[in-house]
Amino acid sequence: QSALTQPASVSGSPGRSITISCTGTSSDVGRYNYVSWYQQHPGKAPKLIIYEVNNRPSGVSYRFSGSKSGNTASLTISGLQAEDEADYYCTSYTSISTRVFGGGTKVTVL
Amino acid sequence: EVQLVESGGGLVKPGGSLTLSCTASEFSFSRYSMNWVRHSPGKGLEWVSSISSTSTYIYYADSMKGRFTISRDNAKKTLYLQMTSLRVDDTAVYYCARDLSSDVDYYATDVWGQGTTVTVSS
């Protein structure tokens, strides 16, 4: 159950778009569309922002979108805002019925 | 308001045991799969364990298997995590989290508690 691979940090200017990658294997990301993304601000509980690769829960901004190609999923944040500065984690269901998180990506708004 | 409240965290010596609880309110607890997720200092989130609505299906991360036991009492709307043989690297904030849907498996969690802190240290 190795963690999914995410870049440690990504930064962007306000109004621009950034993309965070999440690389797994053919036993998790590549096998299932059960990839979800979470936003976590310091000291707060994680918040679900994307589920099933590209679905947004009610109330989540349209600026967040997800995609997947092969063993790699991606989260794009468009129109970057100061409030988007946070840690972002991907997670996937696995072939042994467990779940695995990525290492997390710190997003900095310049 | 849909809510999860964890309790039971604290300071414990290596090799010790601790049981965490998570009490649910304002939703049909018995219909949802539930999870424990932890966040270690300076590290990322780590999935710990999941339990289905009727406790039929239970899964653990490899590093917790044999040491942690997840359970639930639907009548009390409470989720538990019994932790034994605790190690220093089990130090973390432990969150309970509800699966997104009671009808469809999305393997995503949309309701989280505030977390309870477990510190393993001599």
A45–B112 C-beta distance less than 8 A: yes
How far apart CA A44 and CA B22 sit, in angstroms, is 17
The pLDDT assigned to B52 comes to 96
Of all residues in chain B, the one with the smallest CA distance to A55 is B106
Stretch A13-27: mean pLDDT, rounded?
97
Please name the residues in contact with B100: beta carbons below 8 A apart, sequence gap of 6 or more.
Answer: A48, A51, A57, B106, B108, B109, B110
Q: Is B32 on the interface with A (CB under 8 A)?
A: no
Q: Is B60 on the interface with A (CB under 8 A)?
A: yes
Reply yes or no on whether the pLDDT at A1 is more than 80. Answer: no
A99–B45 C-beta distance less than 8 A: no
**Chain A neighbors of B115, CB-CB under 8 A:** 45
Q: Is B37 on the interface with A (CB under 8 A)?
A: yes
Dihedral sign computed on CA atoms, order B24, B50, A90, B89: positive
The pLDDT assigned to B16 comes to 97
The pLDDT assigned to B104 comes to 87
